[in-house]
């Protein structure tokens, strides 16, 4: 998706996803009216790839002060979460690894995102809670271990994306993920089962909600 034209000086929005299929869903979905310039960034898979890609993107003068949205697919951890559900993070967590302390990044505008997504996707369940990061695809008993930390879903890039974004400067950040597999519905290959197809269709419909979040997130704080 090319950057969306906007009046000069309008704060930009950077939407980051990892996979080609996520990028395709976002590019081919409904767009609505963006309030400012929009850049869709494919970071590559994993936290390190996300860190590198987001840091490089935000170093560009054109993205100075950009709001950042991390999106794509995720794995549900909690009972009652199903493929095709949405997860709106109230915070993202990057666990401690190799002696490095973990980090937690609060998200902005969670309630607004929940409202907008529920209106845009009637019949879809929207869950809110902590989204935890991992450096690998989570399977089996690892789900229960992560659920015990209080997280409701896991993915590989959101926490790294938001941590990198706020480290580069003060800005609104958020994460919205579509559940592609869950404890009762483990995915083997995306796109070959109902859960993957359902998640793709949902991701195609999220951009207008992201634009409304961007519009409100960039309003002056009182």
What CATH number is associated with residue 55?
3.40.50.1580
Neighbours of 184 (CB within 10 A): 11
Query: Would you say 76 and 87 are in contact if contact means Cβ atoms under 8 Å apart?
Result: yes
Indicate the pLDDT class of residue 9, thresholds 50, 70 and 90: low
The 10s digit of each residue's pLDDT in 178-207 is: 999 876 655 544 444 455 778 889 999 999
Confidence band, pLDDT 50/70/90 cuts, at residue 140: confident
Domain that holds residue 175: 13-217
Q: What pLDDT is recorded for position 130?
A: 98
Number of domains in the chain: 1
Burial label for 194, CB within 10 Å (0-12, 13-18, 19+), is exposed
3-state helix, strand, coil in the chain (%, to 5): 35, 25, 40
Residue 60 main-chain phi, psi, to 5 deg: -75, 130
The enclosing H or E element of 40 equals: strand 38-42
Whole-number pLDDT of residue 34: 85
Range 28-38 average pLDDT: 84
Residue 222 forms part of a structural domain: no
| 2 within some domain | no
- Report yes or no on 184 lying in a domain: yes
Decide if 4 is inside a domain. no
Residue 53 lies in a domain: yes
Kindly report, residue by residue over 58-113, the tens digit of the pLDDT: 999 999 899 999 999 999 999 899 889 999 999 999 987 655 668 999 999 999 99
Instruction: Look at residue 83 and give its three-state secondary structure.
Output: coil
What is the pTM (predicted TM-score) of this model?
A: 0.89
Q: Is residue 5 part of a domain?
A: no
CA distance 152 to 185: 15
């Amino acid at each position: 998706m090319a950057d969306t034209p906007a009046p000069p000086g309008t704060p930009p929005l950077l939407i980051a996803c990892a996979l080609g299929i996520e990028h395709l869903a976002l590019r081919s979905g409904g767009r609505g009216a963006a309030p400012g310039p929009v850049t869709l960034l494919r970071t590559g898979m994993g936290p390190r790839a996300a860190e590198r890609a987001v840091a490089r993107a935000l170093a560009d003068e054109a993205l100075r002060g950009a709001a950042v949205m991390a999106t794509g697919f995720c794995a549900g951890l909690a009972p009652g979460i199903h493929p095709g559900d949405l997860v709106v993070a109230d915070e993202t967590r990057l666990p401690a690894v190799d002696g490095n302390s973990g980090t937690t990044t609060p998200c902005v505008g969670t309630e607004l995102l929940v409202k907008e997504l529920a209106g845009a996707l009637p019949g879809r369940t929207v869950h809110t809670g902590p989204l935890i990061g991992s450096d690998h695809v989570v399977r089996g008993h690892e789900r229960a271990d992560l659920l015990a930390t209080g997280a409701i879903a896991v993915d590989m890039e959101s926490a790294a994306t938001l941590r990198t974004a706020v480290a580069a400067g003060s800005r609104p950040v958020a994460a919205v993920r579509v559940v592609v597999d869950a404890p009762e519905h483990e995915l083997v290959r995306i796109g070959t089962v109902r859960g993957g197809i359902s998640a793709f269709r949902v991701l195609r419909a999220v951009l207008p909600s992201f634009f409304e979040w961007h519009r409100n997130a960039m309003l002056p704080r009182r």
